[in-house]
Amino acid sequence: MNRQAGFFAWKPALLLAAVMAISGCGSDDDSQTAPIDADADNVADDLDNCPLVFNPAQQDSNANGLGDACENSSNPTASPQATASATAEPQPSPTASPTSTPPLDSASPTPSAATPTPAPSIEPTATPPAATTPSPTATPASSPSPAPSTAQPFPTATPNASPQPAPDAPEPGPFPLLPGLDDHGNTSSSATALTLGTPMWGYLETIGDQDVFSIDLPAAGRYTFDIKGFNTDTLNATLSGPGNQNVAMTYEPDGNAAYAAFDIASPGRYSVTVSSPLPGTGGYYVTAAEPLETRANAYRLLRQTTFGPVQQDLQQIVDFGLHRWLDKQLAMASPGDDTARDTQLERTIDIATSVEPGADWFPANPNNGDAASQGEHFNGLASNNTDEYQLSSWYENALHAPDQLRQRVAYALSQILVVSLNNSQLAQRPEALAHYYDLLLEHAFGNYRDLLSAMARSPAMGFYLSHQGNQKANTSRNTVPDENFARELMQLFTIGLYQLNPDGTAQRDANGQLIPSYTQTDVEEMARVMTGWDLRYNSSFGRSDGSFVHMMEFVPDYHDFGGKQILGSSIEAGMQDGADLEAALDLLFLHDNTAPFVARHLIQRLITSNPTPDYVERIANVFLDNGQGVRGDLAAVTRALVLDNEARNPEGPEVEYFGKAREHVIAYTAWMRAFNAEPVNGWHASGDNAGVAVDGIYRIATESALGQAPLRAPSVFNFYSPDFVPADAYYRDADPQFVLPEMQLRIANNVAGLARVLNPGSYVLEKRAIEREYGSVDDFVAAENARETPNWRRYPLLALLDYGPALDAFELAMEGDSNGDFASINDEDTDADGYTPKQRGIFGLITFLQDQMLGGMPLDAEFRNAVVPLLDSGAYFERPVSQAAIEAERVCAAAVQMVFMSSTNMTQK
């Protein structure tokens, strides 16, 4: 988004590195042949898994050969110190001595390996300089020191430096062109050979430089090329195979990285050419590799971190690994920060105004003096269906947002910092929920402290826990402040009821009793803090005619300005503008309980119901310090809890206590994502808006069937208790007891409800069946609209799903083609194994669904033994010859339903 347009900005720091690394920088001591260590981390470049970034620890958690420092998207190479120091003192071109001849030999696999360059360091044991002090190597060239400055061309990446965007670099001086220096050849005949799985770095030293690499891929199979630039601004990469057949490369949105993954049928030589599309330079890595991850692991990650695995994400992870996917997910801007995307509030408004264009959505509010908008703001009271529009907006995001991890974390947060439509005021103003969810999305990878502040000031929470309009004690009316928010803020959002150890286990007193973390007096004091907050544009304090889509405002007249004593700390009297709210949030944020409390809840929502105390403590520690001294960094917490060994342990599925029951909402979205759900276009609204055709809008009314819907918990205690213990001795006898929170919702009606909404017919609009029956989806929509009173509301899920791939797999296994005639579905002839074509088809179908929808996770033998006979010969699944396609659709629909209802799918391990 902030790409520098047009002119390719020189990156002097990088350039300097390139020059240093290549030249060896004129040591006059030929006897010293220290290897090049461009990042001064005391790991020579040819051994360094990330040679441009200071990473003495050489961490490589995915063991792909490329260090974490290079895989981390927030790569700090362009730190201000580096840029400034190098710019201040441009390095004159050294005169290459014979012994320090740069590795021009393009056949050498790496520059440094080819030439053990002498590099006597000024600081052989270079410790990274503090972030605030200029590098001692900033002025090497100005000193006539014989020692070259190879030690620290990038004195940048102090491990504890806080990640901050580099300020604009000072305009660099004229680029010292170094004719003749080039690390990799420019043509295929001078290409550098790559080794599978070994990253190689290179530099585009001069304008117009291009570097060519080649590799002989040894056998048929799948391979990847991955090129990542550092300070390249943008780069070009072309990949060609035998016969100069080009393989398309995909570019990251910032243009600074490119990748390709492809299958080859036979061995062959492939070459990749790296250049810059603009006259530019910079460094980069290129890696040729085999896929990094198994499908099973990738699938598992996606079940934990998305609203349902889809093939594209799955393949990305298989090809390039968990880390890269995670990095990309964490780097994606929130909808609120990305103008190209709609927030949930914006989308809710779009949908509302599209479906009910005649409603008075923006009534003037005389209390809103905003001249530009004539006092208008969105008001959900205009319709009884505003809650549907808000929910449609939520489902759209869950189903289609590219930042799935952010969406899932926000959803997890919505089950910790609970607000709900089940509230008399919010039921009428659902836009407050959309506004609130946007806050969760915005802060999901931000800081928990900021999130607390936003949550506390949001109109949704203000109404849900009734601190909106809360006022100081009134002795004449004999009233005291409302304690609702004050209590739940402590009990449910931050510190919990009792003192915790750093690993989230309960502290006990000498008598073995839990130790309360606050007292009733703390609640009463906190309630005094939570006074004087009101809706913006309210007619008077505590009313509800103001805006539900602006943050609440502080109204001093109703605030208790006295000093407060909370949790043993004082909040001084007279703090202005609601500053005591922030002071109170600080107390809670800094409380020892908060880190393990939040860590445990997030782990439970995403990964496992019963994290080990060690797991909780590891994540709590990241909450306490993200590695850069920052407390509450939710992106770091998310990364850590997803990558933790306990989450990733390949044995996890067999670990008795590991995993969780899959939440119905998530199982449901996963099903829709797996079958490419899309909105039905052209359906007509009803009632006052009859005849209004609606495009691109879902309507999803399955809350009662699933037993839950987002932002619709029955109380602030969420859909289920985090310590729900099932009636099973394994769980009840553990000490402390093991829990399965999501099982609390697995009641008869909800189990049956999920089964019902997964079954096509009037419940699901399936594309292939509609096309068969109506000719096209458009014709179907037209036919429904042409009814005397079109009733689209009878579809609990107004969305199209495509079972085509499943039908094709069924037919292919049954009769060897996928032409849609299902000609042999009624044949009784058996094959050599004794199976009829339909039976073969069913086997193939289940295998297809297992592979595509369950990521290959095993289904029980009991599953097949029960389901196959039903689909084969159940009365509903046997149709006359003339209805072969209908029979096939029924079989497929039921197979999908059963696979999704299987214990394999409904558990997450």
Partner 1 sequence: MDRRQLLKLLSGAGAASVLTNPLQPALASPPGFDDYKALVVVFLLGGNDAYNMIVPMGDESASAAVGTGYQTYRNSRGHIAIEPTDLSGLSGNPYAAENNSAAYQKGVYPVAGDIGINGVMPELAELYANNQAAVIANLGTLIEPVTKATRNTAALPPFLFAHNHQQRAMETGWADHLSAGGWAGRIADLWQAHALGGINNNSPLGMNVSYGGATRMMTADFNSPVVLNAGSTRIFDTSRGFDPDTFRAMNAANSSDTALSRVLKASYRKTSDLNALMADQFQLTLDFSDLSDPYGNPLFSTPDADQLELSGRMSGRTLSAARDVARMIQLGRNVLGLKRQIFYIGMGGFDTHSELTTYHPLLLRELSLTLGSFQQAMNSLGIADEVSLCTLSDFARTLGNNGDGTDHAWAGHHLVTGGAVNGGQRYGEIPDLTLDGDADVGRTGRLIPGLAMDQYLATLTRWFGVDDADMASLFPNLANFKPVSSDPISSAYINGLFTL
CB 233 within 8 A of CB 255: yes
| Residue selected from 325, 411, 731, 810 as contacting partner 1 according to rule CB under 8 A | 731
C-alpha 683/C-alpha 7 separation (Å) is 49
C-alpha 2/C-alpha 17 separation (Å) is 25
C-alpha 710/C-alpha 295 separation (Å) is 30
| Residue selected from 331, 590, 725, 823 as contacting partner 1 according to rule CB under 8 A | 725
CB 663 within 8 A of CB 750: no
Helices (H), 590-711: 594-606, 613-624, 634-643, 645-648, 664-674, 703-706
- Least Cβ distance, residue 528 to partner 1 (angstroms): 11
- Least Cβ distance, residue 889 to partner 1 (angstroms): 11
Contacts of 103 (CB under 8 A, 6+ apart): 22, 110, 111, 112, 114, 115, 183
Nearer to partner 1, 758 or 814 (CB): 758
| Residue selected from 746, 768, 840, 879 as contacting partner 1 according to rule CB under 8 A | 746
Q: Does 654 bind partner 1 (CB under 8 A)?
A: yes
Nearer to partner 1, 478 or 789 (CB): 478
**Binding region for partner 1 (CB under 8 A) out of 64-72, 299-307, 680-688, 750-758:** 750-758
Is the sign of the CA dihedral 659, 665, 668, 669 positive or negative?
A: negative
**Binding region for partner 1 (CB under 8 A) out of 5-13, 213-221, 491-499, 592-600:** 491-499
| Residue selected from 68, 313, 483, 633 as contacting partner 1 according to rule CB under 8 A | 483
**Binding region for partner 1 (CB under 8 A) out of 115-123, 754-762, 783-791, 812-820:** 754-762
- Least Cβ distance, residue 65 to partner 1 (angstroms): 35
| Residue selected from 364, 752, 782, 783 as contacting partner 1 according to rule CB under 8 A | 752
Q: Does 773 bind partner 1 (CB under 8 A)?
A: no
Distance of CA 902 to the CA centre of its chain: 27
Q: Residue 547 in 3-state DSSP?
A: strand
| Residue selected from 655, 692, 812, 823 as contacting partner 1 according to rule CB under 8 A | 655
CB 669 within 8 A of CB 754: no
What type of residue is 713? A
Q: Does 393 bind partner 1 (CB under 8 A)?
A: no
Q: Does 728 bind partner 1 (CB under 8 A)?
A: yes
C-alpha 225/C-alpha 290 separation (Å) is 9
**Binding region for partner 1 (CB under 8 A) out of 110-118, 301-309, 466-474, 677-685:** 466-474
Q: Does 649 bind partner 1 (CB under 8 A)?
A: no
Q: Does 612 bind partner 1 (CB under 8 A)?
A: no
259, containing H or E segment: strand 257-264
**Binding region for partner 1 (CB under 8 A) out of 76-84, 391-399, 656-664, 691-699:** 656-664
Nearer to partner 1, 643 or 751 (CB): 751
Q: Residue 228 in 3-state DSSP?
A: strand
- Least Cβ distance, residue 162 to partner 1 (angstroms): 38
Q: Which of 447, 474, 446 is nearest to 531 (CA)?
A: 474
Contacts of 281 (CB under 8 A, 6+ apart): 8, 10, 11, 14, 15, 18, 175, 203, 204, 205, 206, 207, 209, 232
Nearer to partner 1, 470 or 836 (CB): 470
Q: Does 331 bind partner 1 (CB under 8 A)?
A: no
Q: Does 755 bind partner 1 (CB under 8 A)?
A: yes
Angle (CA) 389-392-398 rounded to 5° is 150
Q: Which of 711, 684, 714, 713 is nearest to 699 (CA)?
A: 684
Nearer to partner 1, 103 or 659 (CB): 659
Phi, psi of 575 (to 5 degrees): -65, 135
What type of residue is 696? G
- Least Cβ distance, residue 489 to partner 1 (angstroms): 13
Q: Residue 514 in 3-state DSSP?
A: strand
| Residue selected from 327, 438, 482, 811 as contacting partner 1 according to rule CB under 8 A | 482
- Identify residues 371-390 at the interface with partner 1 (CB under 8 A): none
Nearer to partner 1, 331 or 473 (CB): 473
Contacts of 478 (CB under 8 A, 6+ apart): none
Q: Does 893 bind partner 1 (CB under 8 A)?
A: yes
Q: Does 130 bind partner 1 (CB under 8 A)?
A: no
- Identify residues 776-835 at the interface with partner 1 (CB under 8 A): none
| Residue selected from 422, 628, 676, 689 as contacting partner 1 according to rule CB under 8 A | 422
- Identify residues 534-573 at the interface with partner 1 (CB under 8 A): 542
C-alpha 54/C-alpha 593 separation (Å) is 34
- Identify residues 499-528 at the interface with partner 1 (CB under 8 A): 513-514, 516, 520, 523-524
| Residue selected from 282, 321, 760, 790 as contacting partner 1 according to rule CB under 8 A | 760
699-700 vs 797-798, strand pairing mode: antiparallel
| Residue selected from 63, 340, 510, 727 as contacting partner 1 according to rule CB under 8 A | 727
C-alpha 427/C-alpha 422 separation (Å) is 6
Nearer to partner 1, 259 or 731 (CB): 731
CB 292 within 8 A of CB 62: yes
- Identify residues 830-869 at the interface with partner 1 (CB under 8 A): 860-863, 865-867
- Least Cβ distance, residue 732 to partner 1 (angstroms): 5
**Binding region for partner 1 (CB under 8 A) out of 230-238, 361-369, 547-555, 749-757:** 749-757
Q: Does 470 bind partner 1 (CB under 8 A)?
A: yes
Nearer to partner 1, 508 or 787 (CB): 508
Nearer to partner 1, 8 or 498 (CB): 498
| Residue selected from 266, 478, 789, 882 as contacting partner 1 according to rule CB under 8 A | 478
Q: Does 743 bind partner 1 (CB under 8 A)?
A: yes
- Binding letters toward partner 1, positions 663-702, x by CB under 8 A: ----------------------------------------
The per-residue b/e assignment along 733-753, b for 16 or more CB within 10 angstroms, e otherwise, is: eeeeebbbbbbbbbeeebeeb
Q: Does 877 bind partner 1 (CB under 8 A)?
A: yes
**The residue to which tokens 């130790």 are assigned:** 515
- Least Cβ distance, residue 790 to partner 1 (angstroms): 23
**Binding region for partner 1 (CB under 8 A) out of 177-185, 308-316, 478-486, 767-775:** 478-486
Nearer to partner 1, 424 or 882 (CB): 424
Contacts of 505 (CB under 8 A, 6+ apart): 613, 736
Nearer to partner 1, 94 or 504 (CB): 504
Residue 447 DSSP label: B
Give the 3-state secondary structure of 714-782: CCCCCCCCCCCCCCCHHHHCCCCCCCCHHHHHCCHHHHHHHHHHCCCCCCCEEHHHHHHHHCCHHHHHH
482, containing H or E segment: none
**Binding region for partner 1 (CB under 8 A) out of 467-475, 575-583, 596-604, 642-650:** 467-475
How many C-beta atoms lie closer than 10 Å to residue 548's C-beta? 32
Size of the site for partner 1 (CB under 8 A): 93
- Least Cβ distance, residue 690 to partner 1 (angstroms): 26
- Least Cβ distance, residue 844 to partner 1 (angstroms): 19
- Identify residues 237-296 at the interface with partner 1 (CB under 8 A): none
